[in-house]
Amino acid sequence: MDEEEQDLGALFNELGERFYELRRERFDKMQETLADISNYCEMQYIKLCLLQTELEGMLEDKVDDVDDAINLGAKAFQTSRDRWKKS
């Protein structure tokens, strides 16, 4: 291998390493973003469940069937088939 081929080989290796570093940086940022989104979703779920519990407590004396009156937490996530069964 002459000197020019060695220089081109070294340049190729440097570009490959830089490409790997850039991909790694982007991947790390994506992981951080996904963790943030996951934490946000968890907190929203907790808030909705607490609100559901609070509303059920407030309506307990005023409504015959509290479960059917307000659904915000886990009970709110129904398939359309389940929703039609109630009708």
What Cα–Cα distance (Å) separates residue 67 from each residue in 27, 47, 76? 43, 18, 10
Q: Can you tell me the distance from the alpha carbon of 75 to that of 50, in angstroms, rounded to the nearest whole number?
A: 13
pLDDT value of position 82: 67
pLDDT value of position 64: 60
The CA-CA-CA angle for residues 11, 14, 17, to 5°, reads 150
**Does residue 66 contact residue 56 with C-beta atoms inside 8 Å?**
yes
pLDDT value of position 36: 95
**pLDDT tens, residue by residue, 22-72:** 999 999 999 999 999 999 999 999 998 888 888 878 777 766 665 555 555
